[in-house]
Structure 1
């Protein structure tokens, strides 16, 4: 989110820093937690879709952000979604790449 937008809705530089710090910290912690959960449950696709959906809902909240508090809620929802979707999405990408490279390797060795 642009600091200019936050300033336009009344956020001070301190509040902008707090919003960004909380949002990014939340996303980082959630990547760790959802990575563990997706490894245990193997429900990576559901977690990734849930994360993308939550980010989309968060973007709708931006419409109602007429103060820095509304922008904070949007930012937290957006980063919450990012934290949920990132680790499972990366695992899905890795798994699909491994399968394709194994298929290519097996075919070339014949």
Structure 2
């Protein structure tokens, strides 16, 4: 199997896994409306750095290349943030408190730190 075939197979597996994870959290939100605090514009979990799998890095590169064609200004802002030492504590993909490549966000972003409302 070639390297490209392996990457394509890993990418297909990743898509299935992400769908399962997303379905799980959507179901949790339906079971407990208002308890899951994760939403567009929240970005509280996006102020730290995480590692990503190689297959995710490839998909992020592809998404960023697509972003350069479809929204060059947003892509420029991502690049500027990535190069800004003062912004190192926040994800460079976070633009106006929204992920610039939300559909391709890594697994860690789909699962890490999903805030929940807890009553004492």
TM-score by length of 2: 0.36
Rg bigger for which structure?
Answer: 1
